[in-house]
Chain A
Amino acid sequence: TPTCEPGSLLCCKRDHYVDFHELGWQDWILQPEGYQLNYCSGQCPPHLAGSPGITASFHSAVFNLLKANSPWPSGPSCCVPTARRPLSLLYLDQNGNVVKTDVPDMVVEACGCS
Chain B
Amino acid sequence: QRAGPRCPSCGLPTLQPQEERALVLELAKQQILEGLQLTSRPSISHPPHPAVLARALRRLQSKKVAQMNQVETISFAAETDSFSTPACGSILSFHLSTPLHLPPYHIRLWLHLQPTLAGTPSIQIFQWGLEREVQGNQTLLAEHRMTTQGWNALTLPSQALESTGSGVLKFKLVCRPHVGNATAARHLLLDTAGHHQPFLVIKTQARAPGGDRAKRR
Name A's B-contacting residues (CB within 8 A): 9, 11, 16, 18, 22-23, 25, 27-30, 35, 37, 39-44, 76, 78-79, 86-106
Known: A96-B78, A99-B74. 17 other contacts (CB 8 A): A11-B9, A16-B24, A23-B29, A37-B28, A39-B24, A41-B9, A42-B9, A43-B9, A89-B35, A92-B42, A95-B96, A97-B73, A98-B48, A101-B72, A102-B68, A103-B32, A103-B36
Is there a chain A Cβ closer than 8 Å to B209's Cβ? yes
Does the CB pair A23–B72 fall under 8 Å? Answer: no
Q: Looking at the assembled complex, report how far the CB atom of B25 sits from the nearest CB atom of chain A, in whole angstroms.
A: 6
Q: Which of A29, A86, A87, A102 has the most chain B CB atoms inside 10 A of its CB?
A: A102
- Residue of A whose beta carbon sits closest to that of B11: A76
Q: Looking at the assembled complex, report how far the CB atom of B69 sits from the nearest CB atom of chain A, in whole angstroms.
A: 6
- Residue of B whose beta carbon sits closest to that of A35: B28
Give CA–CA (A103, B47) in the complex, Å: 23
Does the CB pair B76–A96 fall under 8 Å? Answer: yes
Does the CB pair A101–B41 fall under 8 Å? Answer: no
Q: Looking at the assembled complex, report how far the CB atom of B42 sits from the nearest CB atom of chain A, in whole angstroms.
A: 4
Q: B63-92 vs A: 1/0 string, CB under 8 Å?
A: 000101111111110100000000000000
Residues of B within 8 Å of A, CB-based: how many?
Answer: 44
Does the CB pair B209–A28 fall under 8 Å? Answer: no
- Residue of A whose beta carbon sits closest to that of B76: A96
Give CA–CA (A40, B72) in the complex, Å: 32
Q: Looking at the assembled complex, report how far the CB atom of A44 sits from the nearest CB atom of chain B, in whole angstroms.
A: 8
Ranked nearest first, the 4 interchain pairs of A and B with the lowest CB-CB distance are A103-B35, A94-B42, A98-B74, A95-B95
Does the CB pair A79–B97 fall under 8 Å? Answer: no
- Residue of A whose beta carbon sits closest to that of B68: A102
User: Which applies to chain A's interface (DSSP): helix, strand, loop or mixed?
Assistant: strand
Q: Looking at the assembled complex, report how far the CB atom of B190 sits from the nearest CB atom of chain A, in whole angstroms.
A: 21
Is there a chain A Cβ closer than 8 Å to B158's Cβ? no
Is there a chain A Cβ closer than 8 Å to B58's Cβ? no
Does the CB pair A92–B44 fall under 8 Å? Answer: yes
Give CA–CA (A42, B14) in the complex, Å: 12
Give CA–CA (A108, B208) in the complex, Å: 19
Note all chain A residues with C-beta closer than 8 A to B69.
86, 102, 104
Given A101-B72, A102-B69, answer yes or no on A22-B25 (Cβ-Cβ < 8 Å).
yes
Is there a chain A Cβ closer than 8 Å to B118's Cβ? no
Is there a chain A Cβ closer than 8 Å to B43's Cβ? yes
Does the CB pair B9–A78 fall under 8 Å? Answer: yes
Does the CB pair A91–B46 fall under 8 Å? Answer: no
Give CA–CA (A63, B192) in the complex, Å: 65
Give CA–CA (A97, B200) in the complex, Å: 9
Note all chain A residues with C-beta closer than 8 A to B209.
104-105
Give CA–CA (A30, B56) in the complex, Å: 13
